[in-house]
Structures are given as C-alpha cells and as structure tokens.
Structure 1
C-alpha cells in the first residue's frame, strides 16, 4: 500500500495531441529530396532559407546537378509562398511554378506521401519530439518506391 507512485510501479505514456511539428519535403519521379523539420512558423524569409538549404541540395541528389532549368515546382497558395520575395527567388533561380488551383490539396502527389508517412510513424514508440523527428527522417528517406506509386496515381487523376 502506498507504492503506486513508486518508479517501479509507474509506466510512462505518451499522450497524443501534445503538440505539432511542421515539415517541408520535396519529391520527384526518381525519389524524395530533403525533409526539413520547421521549428517555428514559416514566413517568406524562412521559406526561402528552406529552399537554399534543402531544395537546391535535393536537385543535386535527385537530378545529379544543381541546374534548376526545367524544374517545375508545385506548391499551394499560402501567403508566404506567393509573396513577391518568394516569387522573385523562384525567378532568380530559374524554377518555374505550376499554376495551383485554390483549395486543391488532392491535386498534389506529395499529399499521398504525407499519408504514408503518418501511417508509418504510428508504428514507432515516440517518446519525445526528438524521437518523432528522427522517425520522420528515417521513414522519409525510405520511400522511393512510394514516390513512383504516388506519381502514377496522381497522373491517373
């Protein structure tokens, strides 16, 4: 009696809904690029920084060089993504933007990958934000075949 709070009797649990993590990732038909865990809300400057630290290296890893000529980038219409500063960065880096209809997340093939990622992450014993980030990164880089499937299913639509 009185031992119920003793460390031998207590099992730690992780409650769901204790926070969120925003991630940015990119993909092409040949696989996934970098994934970035965003620690704070994005604005134009942070979004551009993500491109410089993740998108441009992804072009090298996916296509073999940093030449962005002919790259068509798809993104939604969030204000920081459509700001003059962000649009100028795309122009300066020779990256064309795909016209994006409002309120159309189902048109983006990466949404399929986010769904796969969420299902896979549920299999982990997540005990902290760090273990969550590590699981995200591990699963993200294990998805090449799912990328092709996502693009095929997107093309069929």
Structure 2
C-alpha cells in the first residue's frame, strides 16, 4: 500500500469515528433486500394488470398466469381484435403444453429468436419501472409490491406506443449488425 492510500484509509477511519454518532451521517441499508417476480402485459394501447408470482414458474403456473392475467389484459387492450402475443423462449413459455394452450385459445405467438430479450419492448418498460423505483426504499414485501404497482400504474399509453413502435427500428439495427451489439 502506498503512502497516499494509507493516508486515505486513516482519514476515513477518523472520519467514520467522528461521524458515527451524527444522525445526518448515518445511512440505512437493507442487508437482504426484498425481491419479487412479476408478470405484466404491454400493448401499444397501454399496460395490463400485474401478477406477482410466488415460487418458480413452470409451464402449468405460466398457463395459469396466461389464463387469469393475459386473457383479461388482451380483452381490455384489444377487445375483439386479433393480436400477436410475444414472449421469450423461457422453458415455461416454450413447453409443448404452453404451445397447445395458445393453439386452444386461437392466439398467434410471435416466432422469437433465442437470446434476444433486448428486442422485447417489455424489457425496456421494466427498465422504466426500475428507474421510477430508485428512490423508493421499501422495507417489506408489501411496500415493494405497492411501489411496483404505483410505478406500473404511472406508465402511459404513449410510452407503451413508443416502445412498440420502436420494434422495427430495433430489429433492423440487429439485422444490420448481423446479430452483434447495437446502440440500443
């Protein structure tokens, strides 16, 4: 360790000793932050309701989410219009029984390439939600869920429309880059 590093270490020890009793210098931290898995739907018309998921997602639980959250979301967002559903190739999504569920419900699923989450507009929406949550400091699971719900509810249809409308540009950029990273 060089002299400069030793001096900095010494100063930080002295400073922390002096500040340890000053409330304005104390910063609370959560040693084991709460976490939750969430499913949500997006369309150019806006967002659907959230589903907070307990445990692991397998094909059966995913199909329950589709039944109880995606179908009502599609009804709200599209009415009787046809739509194309997009999800990634997670095992629960690509299971044969899930494919049969979509066939049985006459829902077209977008053929999606593996390892391409950056092209899915909902990933960009989750980034927006996470940015809105930065200043929230939930201490309990219920506080975290409430903060996520509030952030989700603040998403405007205009934001969703912009994200959906950006898809052709994103896909063109990936094709031009031959699958290599893009500015997006």
Q: Structure 1-normalised TM-score?
A: 0.84
Distance apart, 1:70 and its partner CA: 2.3
Residue matched to 1:56 = 71
Gaps of 5+ in 1: 1-10
- Cα distance in 2 for partners of 1:103, 1:126 equals 32
Residue range with higher mean Cα deviation, 121-130 or 145-154: 145-154
- Cα distance in 2 for partners of 1:84, 1:16 equals 40
Q: Secondary structure at the match of 1:34?
A: coil
Match of 2:128 among 107, 111, 116: 116
Q: Aligned ranges for residues 1-157 of structure 1 at < 5 Å?
A: 13-15=28-30, 18-63=33-78, 65=79, 67=80, 70-144=82-156, 145-157=158-170
- Give the length in aligned residue pairs: 144
- Cα distance in 1 for partners of 2:29, 2:141 equals 11
- Cα distance in 2 for partners of 1:19, 1:134 equals 12
Gaps of 5+ in 2: 1-25, 171-184
**8 Å CA contact 2:30, 2:139 repeated in 1:** no
- Runs of 4 or more off by more than 6 Å in structure 1? none
Higher share in strand: 1
Cα gap change, 1:17/1:72 in structure 2, threshold over 3 Å: closer, same or farther? farther
Once superposed, what is the RMSD of the aligned Cα atoms? Answer: 1.9
Q: Structure 2-normalised TM-score?
A: 0.72
Which of the two has higher C-alpha Rg? 2
